[in-house]
Amino acid sequence: MNQCIRIMIIIEGQKESLHALVKKYAQECALEGMVQAISDTKVRVVACGNRDNVDMFIDALHKGVSEKLIDNLEVEPFMKDRDYRGVFRVIE
């Protein structure tokens, strides 16, 4: 079964390295969606895919929180509103 989530990430460091990290985790979990900088300290992630893969993705991001790469992480369910065509994109 497929699931979509929206994640707000608050960071203090460089968001470019976070973009690469999130994209890497998403590709490893075979997810589609996007990561986009909202401000200097906030990044929005939309990820869709198999429910188990989405759970693995969230676990990987929580690991980033424990390693101090991420300051805060808010996860909420999300209804897919566009077709990501099987790709995970970084939107600048």
- Quote the CA–CA distance of 71 and 51 in Å, as a whole number: 25
List the CATH number of the domain containing 60: 3.30.70.100
Structural domain range at position 25:
2-91
Tell me the β-bridge partners of 45: 7, 35
Question: Which token pair is 8?
Answer: 């707000």
Question: What confidence category does residue 81 fall into, taking pLDDT thresholds of 50, 70 and 90?
Answer: confident
**pLDDT in the model for residue 87:** 87
What is the H or E stretch that residue 34 is in?
A: strand 32-37
Which of 43-52, 65-74, 76-85 is the least confident region? 65-74
Does 76 have pLDDT greater than 80? yes
CB 71 within 8 A of CB 49: no
pTM confidence score: 0.85
Hunting for tokens 């699931």 — which residue is that?
3
What's the total number of domains in the chain? 1
